[in-house]
Structure 1
Amino acid sequence: MGEWRTDPTFAMCRALMDGAELSSFAGGPFDVRAAVAAVRPEAKNGFLLDQVPWERFPRGEHVREAIHLLHSKDSPVRTGTGVVDGMCANDMRAAAVLAVPFLIRIAADACHPYRADALAEVSSPARARYFGVASRDELLLHRADAQDGDLYDDYGVEVTGYPAGWSVAAARTAITADIALLQPLLGDPDPSIRIDAAYALATAADPDRAVRSSFRARFAAEQDPIVRAALVLATAEATRTHPHSPTTAWSREQWRERTQPPEVRLAAAIGWLCLTDEPVPEDLRAAVDDLATDERAQAMDALPWMAAARGSGETGLRHCIRKMLHPDLPDPQDCDDPWAPRR
């Protein structure tokens, strides 16, 4: 923390804690949204890291060095993507956001040895405080259209005092700018790449529904049940941000369709519950009770949405089922222990 207190941005954070208006800093040198928007395409494509203002944000130089090593293929994963992962886990996203365009380009390089690890971290800064969240109201919730004050109130501050809503908005903007690089990864030969591409793209702005359409198109061609389930959840997440009643109806059709793989039906049930305020239908309860075996719940933790929803010794699927279908039931443990054995 001492190192962070010497960072120039600390003065802004201290001023905010003393009552300054967040809007007075919008668009300034310490607004990571403005910093991301100012990075030229040539700098992204050419990995011209010196043209990115890393030094303005907490531990930015560490992120810059990690991306340099990762791009040069001289870095083991733990010191490359591990830096971004660790900072997001420690609720320090501002500098990690600046890495997003470069992580995307590494992921898009079919010859890069760490492309899968890079892609897995692309959307980490785009989601704040969502681990262990499994309720209908919160699981797939984005606040991308909120104003500055609302983002500040909804996401609060990072451990450094930096407005978390700014980091989240900037990360989503960076991902949106590179939709064209991410969409081809939905058809990658590696199933984990296809899943993580869907997870990243689900955070993009999609007012014209082009991203959501790409999920549906890939769903029609996809054969892997877990990847199909990922595409269903990605479709629901994109629809939560940009409501579309025909897509909500499509989600309902998928959990009712007995010819669909169980993983797809379970993902569709969860997605549909997050898209509607309707009471839980009895046929949905029956389908979930029948399909949600312990073995399947473990397998579905391969989906990053479910991995993030884990909590209190439960798999993500079990936690979602309890929160969405049985919200009055207490947690199985007194606290959320990430090291507790899963059911």
Structure 2
Amino acid sequence: MDEWRTDPTFAMCRALADGTKLSSFVGGPFDVRAVVAGIRPQAKDGFLLGEVPWEHFPRGNHVREAVHLLRTSDSPGRTGTGVVSGLCANDMRAAAVLAVPFLIRIAADTRHRHRAEALAEVSCPARACYFGVASRDQLLLHRAETYDNLYDGYGVEVTGYPAGWSIAAARAAVTADIAVLRPLLDDPDPAVRIRAAYVLATAADPERGVRAAFRSRLAAEQDPIVRAALVLATAESTRAHPHSATTEWIGEQWRDRTQAPEVRLAAAIGWLCLTDEPAPDDLRAAVDDLATDERAHAMNALPWMAAADGSDETGLRHCVRKMLYPEQPDPMGDDPWVPRC
């Protein structure tokens, strides 16, 4: 971490700590939102990494090298994967955000052997600390898009950089590449389809085009786990951009006995996150009946459930307990090292 103190952005963070207003840095060379927005389409498509000021942000050159390695390496031992997600896990997203447009293009390259891994990395900078979160009010939460206040609910990263700026920049990068990501919902690999839905759920979607893509894919999708992913992605997007008709549709899915159990469970969780209404008795009964141990483990293939996972219970079980039975205590053996926000 000492290398961070020699990073140019440290002067900005130190100035913020000394009372300088964050607004004085808006649009400048250390505003990652402005930097990401300024990356030329030709630089993204041509992987012109030299045009991006990686050095302005903590561990930026490390991220650049990882992107280069991921794009060019055929070695299974050194692929560059894990760097972006690792930085995000350590609450250092600013440089990781710069990789997002390039990771999206690696994921879209059907010839690339590590495209699924690249796509898994894309969504990490676009979400705040969410591991272990399983409550109705937090699981699918996207906060307001005004990130100029350091204490906007995201706070600062471990380096002192405003976390809200990183998250806003990542979501803007995903939104800018909706056209590149949307075809991945039809990919032959179910893991890619799931991860594409997870990424697209973070995009700005005021016109409901992304949600329409989820619904369109759902009409053709046969894999029950992927169908569940599409329902959860629809719910997450609707949480950010409310739409009463979509909330009502999600409510219909958990009541529909012709749907796969995984879809009904995903819809129940999505509906609970989208409403403040008490859980109906028939929802409780359906969830209690469908949420078997075997199904809970299978649904951990969904990134939402994997993130909600605890050491002694699956993500689905954690969500059910927090959303329907909040009075129940945490499992006695819960790992104290599991990250909590």
Q: In which range does the TM-score fall when normalised by the shorter chain?
A: over 0.9
* Contact 1:307 1:316 survives alignment (8 Å): yes
Deviation at 1:333, TM superposition (A): 3.1
Deviation at 1:79, TM superposition (A): 4.8
* Contact 1:312 1:333 survives alignment (8 Å): no
Q: Give the alignment of 1:15-30 within 5 angstroms.
A: 15-30=15-30
**Partner residue of 1:138?**
138
* Contact 1:7 1:58 survives alignment (8 Å): yes
Q: Give the alignment of 1:113-132 within 5 angstroms.
A: 113-132=113-132
**Partner residue of 1:168?**
167
Deviation at 1:191, TM superposition (A): 0.2
**Partner residue of 1:276?**
275
CA distance in 2, matches of 1:147, 1:72: 35
Deviation at 1:76, TM superposition (A): 4.1
**Partner residue of 1:57?**
57
Partner secondary structure for residue 87 of structure 2: helix
CA distance in 2, matches of 1:50, 1:77: 25
Deviation at 1:184, TM superposition (A): 0.3
Partner secondary structure for residue 81 of structure 1: coil
Deviation at 1:335, TM superposition (A): 5.0
Deviation at 1:128, TM superposition (A): 1.1
**Partner residue of 2:99?**
99
**Partner residue of 2:309?**
310
* Contact 1:77 1:117 survives alignment (8 Å): no
Give the superposed CA RMSD.
1.5
* Contact 1:4 1:58 survives alignment (8 Å): yes
CA distance in 1, matches of 2:274, 2:87: 31
* Contact 1:73 1:112 survives alignment (8 Å): no
Q: Partner letter of residue 290 of structure 1? A: D
Q: Partner letter of residue 186 of structure 1? A: L
CA distance in 2, matches of 1:5, 1:75: 33
Aligned residues between the structures: 339
Deviation at 1:147, TM superposition (A): 4.2
Deviation at 1:324, TM superposition (A): 0.3
**Partner residue of 2:8?**
8
* Contact 1:248 1:275 survives alignment (8 Å): yes
CA distance in 1, matches of 2:328, 2:88: 30
CA distance in 2, matches of 1:232, 1:94: 30
> Cα deviation per residue 1:69-103 (whole Å; 9 max; x = unaligned)?
11113454765121111111111110000000000
Q: Partner letter of residue 42 of structure 1? A: Q
Q: Give the alignment of 1:66-215 within 5 angstroms.
A: 66-74=66-74, 76=76, 79-149=79-149, 152-215=151-214
CA distance in 1, matches of 2:177, 2:151: 25
Q: Partner letter of residue 52 of structure 1? A: V
> Cα deviation per residue 1:142-189 (whole Å; 9 max; x = unaligned)?
01423411x643111111111111100000000000000100000000
Q: Partner letter of residue 185 of structure 1? A: L
* Contact 1:311 1:338 survives alignment (8 Å): no
CA distance in 2, matches of 1:185, 1:152: 36
* Contact 1:176 1:205 survives alignment (8 Å): yes
CA distance in 1, matches of 2:245, 2:20: 44
CA distance in 2, matches of 1:4, 1:335: 33
Q: Identify which range, 266-275 or 330-339, moves more after superposition.
A: 330-339
CA distance in 1, matches of 2:29, 2:46: 23
* Contact 2:93 2:166 survives alignment (8 Å): yes
CA distance in 2, matches of 1:325, 1:272: 12
Q: Identify which range, 194-203 or 139-148, moves more after superposition.
A: 139-148
**Partner residue of 1:324?**
323
Unaligned runs of 5+ in 1: none
**Partner residue of 1:230?**
229
* Contact 1:70 1:76 survives alignment (8 Å): no
Deviation at 1:338, TM superposition (A): 6.0
CA distance in 2, matches of 1:253, 1:77: 46
Partner secondary structure for residue 196 of structure 2: helix
Q: Identify which range, 329-338 or 39-48, moves more after superposition.
A: 329-338
* Contact 2:312 2:334 survives alignment (8 Å): no
**Partner residue of 1:41?**
41
Unaligned runs of 5+ in 2: none
Deviation at 1:314, TM superposition (A): 1.2
Q: Partner letter of residue 181 of structure 2? A: L
CA distance in 2, matches of 1:144, 1:173: 13
| TM-score, length of structure 2 as denominator length | 0.96
